[in-house]
Structure 1
Amino acid sequence: MAERKPRKANVEGHRRKFMVIVDETPECESAVYFSACRARNTGSDLQMLFVVESEDFQHWLSVEAIHQQEGEQKAAAVFRLYQRKLKGWGFDGITLHQAVRHGSKPEQIVEAIEEDEDISFLVLGASTSAEGPGTLVSQLAGKQAGSFPVPIVVIPGALELHEIEALA
């Protein structure tokens, strides 16, 4: 097992970050709201990560370039949406970071955490769907949970914002 880098959120010059994976799913709003509440309540920062999932375009480089460009545009739109929501919820005082990565979502999440020693928590929203909590929650909070580099917080998508605030 590779040696894990220590988290530096409590070292002078560093600030704890709650990292939330943003997308267009309904449960994402719950995760963003919880992360913002925790960031405000603990004097921490909020890191939003959007992952553009890679497709297999080996023979069609121009198609891959278009896919990546469209992914960047979608990420920008999702960031704008959550910036407006955060402001509307009264969280305009927290420090917000945004990042876009390309590739496999689980791999990119782990790499982002390994590269930024201030990330202390990963926050995910769980779907209310009958099919289960969602692929990402199942992958990360399931079989990888025991070896994950930071705690994973899973927010049930059925919680109302006032319930999330009471828990945060």
Structure 2
Amino acid sequence: MSDSEKQQATEKRRKFLVVADGTPESEIAIHFASLRALHTNGVVTLFAVLSPADAAGQWLGVQNIMREEARAEAEATLHKLAAHVNEYAGIIPELVIREGRLADELQKFIDEDPNVAILVLAAGTGKDGPGPLVSLTAGGGFRIPVTVVPGVLTEEALRALT
């Protein structure tokens, strides 16, 4: 198989999209998505969104530095999580960083990539409810299914589900 054939085969694999926002719930979602991708020959896509900077004229230089620092921090976090996914499931995940409102960028990415098959989220366990992402997706609006994994699942329970 040539390199281009390998790339096309990889591009057509089902993607499990996880918002990597640094919460404990996102780690559970990453584990679940990694196991599902492993068992179905899929791909894990780790997705991070940077908040847009406000335009303030004279502070543009400061905003650019802050944006660069936020991007560098997001890249470092995603690379750390990617190494974890690789150790955990033997998968090299796709890394995506966008800038904007989370809901908008998530919707755009799902619409742009036809291989994104499932959005995997984990519900929060605190008194504040399942979390803003789970609440956001509860109303639908995505062209793909959303899997919400309980945020209290143990490693054994996760493995039993996949």
TM-score w.r.t. structure 2 length?
Answer: 0.86
**What is the distance in 2 between the residues matched to 1:154 and 1:62?**
40
Kindly indicate whether residue 125 of structure 2 is the aligned counterpart of residue 112 of structure 1: no
Offset at 1:61? 2.1
**1:110 is matched by which residue type in structure 2?**
Q
The count of residues paired between Structure 1 and Structure 2 equals 153
Corresponding residue number in structure 1 for 2:73 = 74
**What is the distance in 2 between the residues matched to 1:156 and 1:34?**
10
Unaligned runs of 5+ in 1: 1-10
Corresponding residue number in structure 2 for 1:7 = none
Alpha-carbon contact 2:19-2:121 (below 8 Å) kept: yes
**What is the distance in 1 between the residues matched to 2:133 and 2:97?**
17
Higher RCO (CA-CA < 8 Å; seq separation 6+): 1
The DSSP-based 3-state class of the residue aligned with 2:54 is coil
**What is the distance in 2 between the residues matched to 1:49 and 1:103?**
13
* Structure in which a larger fraction of residues adopt helix: 2
Structure 1 vs Structure 2 CA RMSD: 1.8
Corresponding residue number in structure 2 for 1:135 = 132
Counterpart mapping for 1:1-168 below 5 A: 14-59=12-57, 60-89=59-88, 91-92=89-90, 94-140=91-137, 142-143=138-139, 145=140, 147-168=141-162
Offset at 1:79? 1.3
**What is the distance in 2 between the residues matched to 1:125 and 1:64?**
32
Alpha-carbon contact 2:86-2:92 (below 8 Å) kept: no
The DSSP-based 3-state class of the residue aligned with 2:103 is helix
**1:160 is matched by which residue type in structure 2?**
T
